[in-house]
Structure 1
Amino acid sequence: MIKFFRKIRQKILSENKFSKYLIYAIGEIVLVVIGILIALSINNWNENRKNRILEQEILKDLKEEYVLNLSQLQQKIDMRNSIIQNSNDVLRYIDNSEFDINRDTLIHKIRYLGLDPTFDPIQNDLITSGIIRLIQNKPLRKLLSSWTSDILSLQEMELQWQILKTDLNIPYQISLGIFRDMVHSSYESSGTPVYLVEKSNDIDGRLFVGKSKNTPSSEEILQNSQLESMMANAIAQSHSTNMQALALKKRIELIIDLLNKEIKK
């Protein structure tokens, strides 16, 4: 092809016709430009194809992560609901002192104050790595960009409960003399505390500490003025944290829905 154009150019030059050579030169430039544009288009098409393949891989990985995050978040919500339910039961026992409350049942319900439902989601480095730019869906990209701040809002509320549990709940249980019975209650039935996210048959979680012989009666526990405040506080803290968790749950469900729409079957 190059030899062909060279022969034409030499023939025109030999004829000494400048206008004809000028037209030829312009035509040759146009052909070169067209060739460059075609090459760039092919390169861009190939690059876009690679990006779309990578985008699909990213979307599928994200879906897997957020499905796991949703499952874990629901477990934490359920744990806080258990705290609320059992704390409400204790308040009813306090309000109705004529009830004959089984001591083991009471200890079992108070021990829910020791639960620590902390959301620890899988987090990716989409933003810091710049990979997020490959995701074409703008609403999805925006949700993913704000994910870290959404988590922090919930974790700040969870931290308040951790401080309450460490600074108030546990010292109260120890000073009241029921902590050994609470530990016994936690491991008595299945050997695996309810607050463990995953259970494994390969791990023997049994722990035998036995019941204490020097603990207060049900009546003495219920008459303790601090117990009522602790239960009410546990209900309030768990409820407000669950409101934030439920809002985050909707956000995750929306992300998963958008991911499903973008993932090619």
Structure 2
Amino acid sequence: MNRYQKLFNTLKNNKEGAFFPFVLLGDPTPKLSIKIIEALVEGGADGLELGMPFSDPLSDGPIIQKSNLRAFNAGITVEKCFNIITKIRYRYPKLPIGLLMYANLVFSNGIENFYSNCHKVDIDSILVADIPIEEAKVFIKTSLKYDINQVFICPPDSNVDLLRKISKYSCGYIYLLSRTGVTGTEKHANLIAPDILNKLRSYNSAPLVQGFGISNINQVKKIIKAGVDGVIVGSAIIKIIENYFDKIDVMIKEIKIIAKNFKSASINS
């Protein structure tokens, strides 16, 4: 079994949902990025979703856009992102680590070369946010070659044909999109319609993990209670980096607290 399979089996037995935090590598600096990730794991993160900074993040709201800028201002590069991942993987050999990317970052480095580098640093999954499954043949083929889970997004308005395709090709987990629009804590996260959850599972899908607009523990409790296998939380965490980037000790403390709270909310009581 791969890391995702082992994790979700353990969580299911413990009646827990997965808590995956999302942060951008290199924010606010490469060195602090490592400390932030360590704080998230110490706070209870079951796995990691990591972003590589991108100059035109169309799906992201102002909080994550500013995170991109901070990372670029600190001199982050794709090479430095891989260096950070190498250190995180060495420290947490059993932790699922996924990348959430924009396609241009993969294309600009060459699909083959990018996936090869991900394999070398032992990345578990890649989600290319702006590539629909209908256009993802080369990504699926390359992910299989390098033994990487290719994750796909399931929009809230997916038809039966799309649900079938996503169930067939999304590995590791399926990213359930709470709503359309851009990321950010100022928006709400809708519960996924039960018929979508049921239909995906009827196709023997990978575990279902919901993201986009999840900003508080009550949302997490409702999502897990509704039968979703886990949550991805980004902007609520990144906002702490923005608020305390000049008060490092406070930042790390607050990140541990919020991670602990989100993880606690994912446990079925």
Same fold (TM over 0.5): no
The TM tier, using the shorter chain, reads under 0.3
TM-score by length of 1: 0.25
- Relative to total residues, which structure has the larger strand share, 1 or 2? 2
Larger radius of gyration: 1
- Relative to total residues, which structure has the larger helix share, 1 or 2? 1
Higher RCO structure, 1 or 2 (CA under 8 Å, sep 6+): 1
TM-score by length of 2: 0.24
